[in-house]
Chains A and B, each alone.
Chain A
Amino acid sequence: MFYRFRVSFILPVTALILSPLAVAQNQRPQQPAPAKESKTGASTGQKSTAVPPHDISGTWEPANGPQDGVQADGVKAMPNDNKPQHQLPYTPYGEQVFKSHHALEGANAVLPGFYDDPRDKCEPLGFPRMNFYNLRETQILQTPYKIVMLYQYSTTWRVIWTDGRELPKLVDGGVLVNKEIKEPRFYGYSVGKWVDDTTLVIDTIGMMGEDKVWLDTAGRPISDQLHVQETLHRVDRDHLEWSVTIDDPKMYTKPWVAMNKFPMKLEDPHRDVMEQYCSPSEMERYNKLFGEPSSGPAGHAPER
């Protein structure tokens, strides 16, 4: 009697205790439990080897130091430095648009008073320039349906859908999403697919045209026909490689690699990332006190 009671009591209780775990596992097949050890490698002296499958979540920063992702002279793999190997395959129209941009950095930089980078009007940088200017600490969050990237510069985010949906199609007048024509976006429409346990490929289309955004700080152009493909490969637990290919038939005669296995390293999950914003009022004050007088001829003293 007592034995039967014990079995009949223990079984349901055990089932109750374990059932939330089973449900949780079923609902989140791609979400491994977060690592309990917050600091590996340097703090423990142990080399990290375990790579969680289908997981790039975490706070990442450039592995070669915080300035490595600034890319002031243009995209990391192809800076505008006049070297023959860094010449981009412009179409005639692409070259024309490039020459119409007046960049402050790179080999074609103009004098400080004559540049027109939309960055300094605090316009949205847009995608993919977010990857090519001030790529600093980047927080990546995952759900079963999407990956969200929180960029430090401009405190900007973008969403990459991983729920199996198809990449929208470019059509006349916009972007075809579920039989509906939608507007182009500064950060486009992104879909990600895991090609193996540690490699995510993201395709993005539907970005703003050449009148709104630049590709990089050297003033390279992109158009609304742009297709960006990113590959994020988690090399080991603490390291990620980020590659970006640009395919824009309106601006370039062939696809080219703008970022090639750019190394990122995992930060402490407790790290509180600082804001880096563009404030029109701060920009105005900076230009009035320092930017304009330092760029102009002698004798134009700033107002005090």
Chain B
Amino acid sequence: MPPLRTVRTVCPRNCYCTCGMLVTLDEHDRIRSIDGDPENPATGGHVCLKGLSYARRVTCADRLLTPLRRKPSGAGFDRVGWDEALGEIAARLTRVRDAHGPQAVLYYEGSGSHGALGALSMAFWRQFGGCTATYGDLCWPAGLEATRLTYGDNRHNHPALTVQSRFILLWGHNPAETNVHQWRLILDAQARGARVVVVDPRQTDSTDAADVHLQPRPGTDAALALGLARLIVEAGLHDAAFLGAHAHGFEEYRQRLDAFPIDRVSAITGLESESIRALALEYARTKPALLIAGFGLQRHSRAGQTMRTVALLPALTGNVGVAGGGWQYANLASHCLRPLPLPPEPPASRAFPVSQVARHLETLDAPPIRAAWIERGNPASQNPAAPRLRAALSRLGLLVVVDQFMTPTAELAHYVLPAKTLFEEEDLVTAYWHPYLQWRAKVLAPPGDVRPESDIWRAMCERLGFDTRYFPADRETLLRGLLPEDCACTLEDLKARPLDLSGHGDVAFADRRFPTPSGQVEFSSDEAAALWGVDPVPDYVPLDEGADAPARARYPLQLLSCKTRDRIHSQFGNLDWVREVERPHVLDIHPDDAKARGIADGSRAAVWNDRGRIELVARVTPGLRPGVVHMLEGWCHAGDPDVNALTAEGITDMNHGATFYECLVEVARA
């Protein structure tokens, strides 16, 4: 048998795991296996089903392999050569810029593929004279900011220390589906005697394996956190020594707790007083205790303040800087690369929040958006107000979409340019759960006429006579220059194994030095008040579209659109291998809510609010809290229901996030 070759690389999806991978190919460059890289201690020798599905994804029949141009009739596409496509795009972009200014062009990039080279797009746009871009993030920014305001930095303990925990509190987090490598470590800890408690309005694969499950009303987490804190302080179980040395504003915070007696917290959250008390006492008494928060509980308008209340519990109980303890939200230890060398930012740039693309396409003036370039994203399906967003994109004079597949966004384009996969260009990839920077090797040559985005941007610069020195022919040289200045390692070291270059060590804040304004854990944050106009001491404020909202008179059900293991948002859903093992696409509804509406299991249900209406099959399940309905997000193929027809273009109280989970609806038989 001819020899096989094995290449070490990394998965660049927007996912906790960022798995190190070993890809083995035969002499025809066919993928013979995809294995986990044992050199990555967090993900170990395993990838997940999505990582394995790359063996299908890179060669599947619906992959785009040539540039496409919309037919003159408007329906469908013709193949077109790169020269012709880029020449026409460059001419049309230039016409828009010259007539209306560079801000008349929207550049939108999503999180579809992580890598340092993604920023090369700005070498074009800055020389173009600027553009309109987006700021903020659809996913997680409020929690990042809350953690930064509280502890000074987004870093947490090394994942391997999870097994040292005696008590693991998963709050709005479902790692059995969304971080399967963390789940392995949690199961290992549980097997060694750790208690696992989950706070989640839904019954999930994580809650099934847990020792205790609390199902609060969505959006009431701040009340629960403040109520737990009050019980802990009342019982004298707070870590007075730690707080005396390392807490800023504890007294103001303590006064805030007076407003959260257990009866009130029980009424707000819908939880039994006894289960709240039991959680408070057990969490505070069992050391070390690890609190892991998901992203879900910060996808609403009070997100930042909510996350501050939850993030303070590990500090209150002295679980910070402790192996097996701590606060886990996101670990940005690997985000240590130097910025790409780019031309200076032109003054003519402008930007708007990414959760409000539809609104800004509709209303931006002086100048309105007339052309757009979209890559690594699928906003036509994945952003709030998706139907309006699609209509607005359809009205543009020019839409260019770069993607591997014909997504709902690409279907609206005038030009669709075929994108590389992770295996077809080298890059450096950071993570947000483990601390490792990883080398993404080029494993395969791009198939067909596919070009990496960096080549597309270089060609666009050439077309418009821009400086191309930002695009060296040798990507390794460019990437080598991004390693941190004081870095002792080389690119060759990174090719051999994932590396933690942070210098923080495995236990976050082991030195009890917190890079906040006070140098302490900030129970009260003047910075929060100054930056975001919020109360310096975090509070519970009911959601406008929440459990206590007057709007429930018309739309009584809270809709959550959660993530599962089969996809990263709308990615992977086109693959037959994934569809074969994925979860059913249904509306989960509690038997009480279903009965009141005459909805039977398996019947078709309509879900609507003032923003939109969709239909899908109902699954009547006692696993949900009554008053909550749920469907998975990320469906964007023919006939799929469009959850973002229902979601609002809200903004989180901090850091410009989206509010997908603040969404009241009514449901009826369709």
User: A and B: partners?
Assistant: no
